[in-house]
């Protein structure tokens, strides 16, 4: 066992020594929220989201800690929850570690140590640790990939690395090392039985983080082995695959390096691509990076919703006609009402982009991170922070469907206080807890501003020089961002500011004067100069209300529009419509202006868009009818941010509306 560990940074992705990245991550503790949107979200995370989730998962409803206690011999009972419940518990611990990293509340650390103590007792002598198998005597280890051992492993490794990075303690890390050593023994040799293992491959990300923490190359080699194995074996059902669709569903029909289309289960795909991007950050392999570039373009330009959400269908088929669950279907096939858009998949889209941002240093990747964060990630949790959506469709109708008729319902009309498939909630909460880390990156000679939020940054540039910089903004509601240098080195360096792709005609002022720096939407504006204390940079982004239409090939939204302002996608929701109005009767009137209005006491403090919409009066129940001239009534109402919908009781909602042009 390696006892001298590398210096690490506090991040889920420690690419500080990765040789093939352009932008390196900061310690998430280097950026401290001061006020505004993310400061408030973090506060809710700290005060409600994490404590509430702890009560659920450590109690009898969630039963996640119970599973470990039973495996540890400290409690009687049986395994409850999905096969991936251990992994979801690790994600919750990860969220808790990020909160501790930022508030240093020692009680949190004690609670985490208590979990680790129980987890350690549950681990078998040879390192194996999977309560869903240990508590099922009828199932053998690594018998079938559907038992999600690789997924649980991935989250164990990531959480243990993050715990070590924050606390310097080895109690969790040593469990992870012992576990990964066993994994290496079993999966490194080429065997047909294990060749197609890896169902939801977070172990690739986990192994790379363990390599980054321990400097032990065998973990990186194993991570690469899992990529190399994919697509190598015949796609046919065997003992190890029965129980779930095969082929494109699990990205095993086409080897990754030959792929140009994102296929299959959206979470599986994007965790896989994210892991491959981690490997590429260490190896610099061009073939792998080229494939990831193609896949990123395919996801974000052919298969992504306006909200940054992905995974169009609960059940469907890939282009090759393989059966797909919870995943990608054909390009441009974008249903609104039945869109699956699992919260995890949306977050994974941002996680993949975060890694691509590191690899290429281009701001378009941070655009996607931001789009997801403000829309299809945050929609997964209530404003209060204690109920969850699993699916995030762009339209919801009230209907007579019995959502509880199905055992493991994932598409619900309201956010639920607990989901029996609990992958999304801790994934979202750990993401909200670490947004501060995503906000800045370290460039070759300077700092990149990826996201906007009032904060103080105290970090070290690549040459170890100290940088203290304040960011003041009321983003995402206002487009003004002010940076003020408090401390920096005496030689010139870059301040790179992301100009979002929607922020056309943005302006940058340095110390009150215009600069000759190129300010182009969709790129970083890079200002290189000798900076000194008191210097200011002001970015002014025009917060125009934008009316958005889709590519003509998206049949589902032909002649429909959506409304966006800055990074925020808006929707219309039934509490803002006349009683008994069906959401399908609402039309957008292109001639009527919308006006932004900030409402600090509404839905946690949001900017709404006020204006007049049209409600169609000539209703019909028949499936088809002869066209009449429609009759409309004008209705004064408001649009609310999509992420904030469904916080006022059960509602109908739509993002896209048919448009009346004149
Ligand atoms: Zn999920």
DSSP-derived secondary structure for 496-519: EEEE-TT-TT-EEEETTEE--S--
Mean pLDDT of 610-618: 97
Return the closest-CA partner of residue 348 out of 281, 264, 419, 457.
264
What is the dihedral sign for C-alpha 65, 68, 72, 76? positive
State the maximum Cα–Cα separation within the chain, in Å, rounded to a whole number.
78
The CA R_g of the chain, rounded to the nearest whole Å, is: 25
Q: In Å, how far are 36, 112, 307, 432, 643 from 604, measured between CA atoms?
A: 11, 30, 20, 16, 11
CB-based neighbours (< 5 A) of ligand 1, an ion: 342, 344, 423-424
Tokens of 333: 């096939």
Q: In Å, how far are 118, 144, 296, 333 from 322, measured between CA atoms?
A: 42, 20, 21, 16
CA 316 to ligand 1 centroid distance, Å: 18
- Reported as type and span, the H/E element at residue 480 is strand 480-487
pLDDT digits (tens, 9 = 90+) for 85-100: 999 999 999 999 999 9
CA 50 to ligand 1 centroid distance, Å: 17
Tokens of 290: 């080229």
Residue 404 has pLDDT above 80, yes or no: no
Q: How far is the C-alpha of 368 from the C-alpha of 305, rounded, in Å?
A: 11
Using left for φ > 0, alpha for ψ between -120 and 50, and beta otherwise, residue 104 falls in left
CA 371 to ligand 1 centroid distance, Å: 18
Taking residue 554's Cβ as centre, other Cβ atoms within 10 Å add up to 18
Return the closest-CA partner of residue 439 out of 453, 459, 460, 458.
453
CA 299 to ligand 1 centroid distance, Å: 18
Q: How far is the C-alpha of 169 from the C-alpha of 165, rounded, in Å?
A: 8
Q: How far is the C-alpha of 272 from the C-alpha of 269, rounded, in Å?
A: 5
The pLDDT score that the predictor gives to residue 400 is 59
Mean pLDDT of 35-49: 98
CA 471 to ligand 1 centroid distance, Å: 33
CA 12 to ligand 1 centroid distance, Å: 18
Residue 407 has pLDDT above 70, yes or no: no
Edge to edge, the sheet with strand 446-449 lists 24-25, 440-443, 446-449, 493-499, 523-529
The pLDDT score that the predictor gives to residue 332 is 98
pLDDT digits (tens, 9 = 90+) for 129-166: 999 999 999 999 999 999 999 999 999 999 999 999 99
The pLDDT score that the predictor gives to residue 4 is 64
Q: How far is the C-alpha of 217 from the C-alpha of 558, rounded, in Å?
A: 52
Give me the residues paired with residue 536 across strands: 484
> What's 397's DSSP letter?
-
What backbone phi and psi angles, to 5 degrees, belong to 117?
-60, -45
Non-local (6+) Cβ contacts of 564 within 8 A are: 306, 502, 545, 546, 548, 570
What backbone phi and psi angles, to 5 degrees, belong to 114?
-65, -45
| Residues 314, 340 contacting (CB under 8 angstroms) | yes
CA 495 to ligand 1 centroid distance, Å: 36
Respond yes or no on whether the N-terminal peptide bond of residue 476 is cis (omega within 30° of 0). yes
Taking residue 278's Cβ as centre, other Cβ atoms within 10 Å add up to 26
Q: In Å, how far are 482, 537, 561 from 542, measured between CA atoms?
A: 14, 16, 21
Residue 391 has pLDDT above 60, yes or no: yes
pLDDT digits (tens, 9 = 90+) for 410-447: 888 999 999 999 999 999 999 999 999 999 999 999 99
What backbone phi and psi angles, to 5 degrees, belong to 221?
-60, -40
| Residues 448, 23 contacting (CB under 8 angstroms) | yes
Q: Is 228 helix (H, G, I), strand (E, B) or coil?
A: helix
Q: How far is the C-alpha of 221 from the C-alpha of 218, rounded, in Å?
A: 5
Specify the length of the chain in residues.
662
CA 131 to ligand 1 centroid distance, Å: 20
CA 345 to ligand 1 centroid distance, Å: 7
**Where residue 662 falls among pLDDT bands split at 50, 70, 90?**
confident
* Strand intervals (E) in 492-620: 493-499, 507-510, 513-514, 523-529, 536-540, 545-548, 560-565, 568-573, 586-589, 595-599, 606-616
The pLDDT score that the predictor gives to residue 28 is 96
CA 43 to ligand 1 centroid distance, Å: 23
CA 389 to ligand 1 centroid distance, Å: 9
Return the closest-CA partner of residue 147 out of 139, 157, 155.
139
Give me the residues paired with residue 469 across strands: 457, 485
Mean pLDDT of 363-369: 98
Mean pLDDT, the chain, integer: 96
The pLDDT score that the predictor gives to residue 57 is 98
| Residues 557, 575 contacting (CB under 8 angstroms) | no
CA 438 to ligand 1 centroid distance, Å: 21
pLDDT digits (tens, 9 = 90+) for 233-261: 999 999 999 999 999 999 999 999 999 99
**Where residue 403 falls among pLDDT bands split at 50, 70, 90?**
low
What is the dihedral sign for C-alpha 69, 72, 78, 82? positive
The pLDDT score that the predictor gives to residue 627 is 86
Mean pLDDT of 40-46: 98
The pLDDT score that the predictor gives to residue 6 is 72
Mean pLDDT of 522-533: 98
């Amino acid at each position: 066992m390696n006892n001298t560990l590398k210096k690490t940074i506090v991040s889920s992705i420690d690419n500080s020594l990765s040789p093939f990245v352009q932008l390196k991550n900061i310690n998430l503790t280097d950026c401290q929220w001061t006020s505004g949107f993310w400061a408030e979200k973090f506060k809710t995370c700290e005060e409600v989201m994490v404590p509430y989730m702890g009560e659920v998962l450590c109690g009898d409803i969630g039963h996640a800690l119970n599973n470990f206690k039973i495996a540890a011999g400290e409690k009687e009972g049986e395994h409850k929850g999905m096969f991936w419940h251990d992994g979801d518990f690790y994600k919750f611990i990860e969220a808790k570690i990020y909160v501790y990293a930022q508030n240093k509340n020692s009680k949190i650390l004690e609670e985490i140590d208590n979990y680790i103590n129980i987890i350690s007792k549950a681990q078998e002598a040879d390192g194996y640790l999977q309560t869903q198998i240990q508590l099922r005597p009828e199932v053998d280890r690594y018998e079938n990939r559907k038992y999600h051992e690789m997924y649980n492993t991935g989250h164990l490794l990531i959480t243990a690395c993050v715990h070590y990075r924050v606390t310097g303690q080895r109690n969790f890390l040593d469990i992870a090392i012992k576990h990964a050593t066993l994994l290496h023994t079993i999966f490194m040799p080429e065997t047909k039985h294990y060749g197609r293992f890896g169902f939801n491959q977070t172990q690739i990300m986990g192994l790379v983080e363990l390599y980054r923490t321990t400097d032990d190359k065998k973990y990186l080699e194993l991570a690469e082995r899992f990529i190399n194995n994919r697509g190598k074996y015949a796609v046919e059902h065997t003992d190890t695959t029965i129980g779930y669709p095969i082929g494109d569903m699990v990205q095993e029909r086409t080897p990754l390096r030959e792929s140009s289309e994102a296929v299959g289960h959206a979470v599986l795909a994007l965790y896989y691509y994210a892991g491959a991007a981690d490997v590429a950050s260490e190896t610099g392999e061009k073939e792998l990076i080229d494939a990831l570039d193609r896949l990123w373009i395919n996801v974000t330009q052919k298969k992504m919703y306006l909200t940054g959400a992905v995974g169009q269908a609960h059940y469907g088929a890939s282009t090759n006609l393989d059966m797909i669950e919870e995943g990608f279907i054909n390009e441009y096939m974008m249903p609104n009402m039945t869109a699956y858009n699992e919260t995890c998949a949306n977050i994974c889209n941002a996680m993949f982009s975060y890694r691509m941002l590191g690899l290429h240093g281009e701001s378009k990747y941070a655009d996607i991170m931001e789009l997801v964060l403000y829309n299809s990630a945050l929609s997964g949790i209530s404003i209060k922070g204690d109920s969850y959506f699993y699916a995030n469709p762009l339209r919801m109708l009230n209907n007579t469907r019995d959502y509880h008729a199905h055992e493991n319902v994932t598409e619900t009309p309201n956010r639920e206080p607990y989901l029996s498939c609990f992958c999304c909630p801790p994934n979202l909460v750990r993401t909200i807890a670490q947004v501060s880390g995503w906000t800045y990156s370290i460039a070759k000679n300077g700092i990149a501003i990826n996201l906007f939020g009032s904060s103080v940054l105290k970090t070290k540039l690549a040459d170890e020089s100290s940088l203290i910089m304040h960011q003041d903004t009321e983003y995402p509601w206002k487009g003004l961002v002010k940076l003020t240098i408090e401390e920096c080195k005496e030689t010139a360096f870059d301040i790179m500011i992301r100009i979002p792709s929607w922020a056309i005609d943005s302006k940058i002022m340095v110390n009150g004067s215009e600069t000759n720096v190129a300010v182009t939407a969709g790129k970083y504006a890079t200002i290189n100069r000798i900076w000194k204390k008191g210097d200011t940079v002001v970015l002014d982004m025009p917060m125009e209300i934008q009316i958005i239409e889709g590519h003509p090939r998206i049949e589902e939204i032909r002649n429909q529009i959506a409304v966006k302002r800055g990074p925020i996608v808006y929707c219309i929701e039934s509490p803002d419509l006349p009683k008994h109005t069906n959401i399908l009767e609402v039309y957008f009137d292109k001639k009527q202006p919308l006006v932004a209005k900030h409402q600090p006491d509404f839905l946690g403090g949001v900017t709404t868009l006020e204006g007049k919409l049209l409600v169609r009066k000539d209703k019909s129940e028949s499936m088809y009818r002869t066209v009449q001239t429609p009759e409309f009534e004008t209705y004064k109402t408001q649009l609310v941010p999509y992420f904030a919908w469904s916080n006022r009781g059960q509602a109908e909602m739509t993002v896209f509306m048919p448009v009346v042009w004149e």
